[in-house]
Amino acid sequence: MPGKSAADRIMDAIRAVPPGQVAGYGEIARRAGLPGRARLVARLVAGNDDPALPWHRVMRSDGRIAFPPDHPHYAEQSQRLLAEGVDVKAGRVRGQRAAATLDELLWAPKGRRA
pLDDT score for 94:
86
Of the chain, the end-to-end C-alpha distance in Å amounts to 24
Q: Which domains, from first to last, does the chain contain? A: 6-107 (1.10.10.10)
3-state secondary structure of 6: helix
pLDDT score for 61:
87
Name the helix (H) or strand (E) containing 87.
strand 87-89
pLDDT score for 3:
84
pLDDT score for 113:
46
pLDDT score for 107:
63
3-state secondary structure of 93: strand
Q: Find out whether 46 and 65 touch, Cβ atoms under 8 Å.
A: no
3-state secondary structure of 64: strand
pLDDT score for 2:
62
- Quickly count: other Cβ atoms within 10 Å of residue 45's Cβ: 19
* Consecutive 10-residue averages of pLDDT for the chain (114 residues): 87 95 94 95 94 95 92 94 94 73 59 51
The residue among 104, 2, 34 whose CA lies nearest residue 14 is: 34
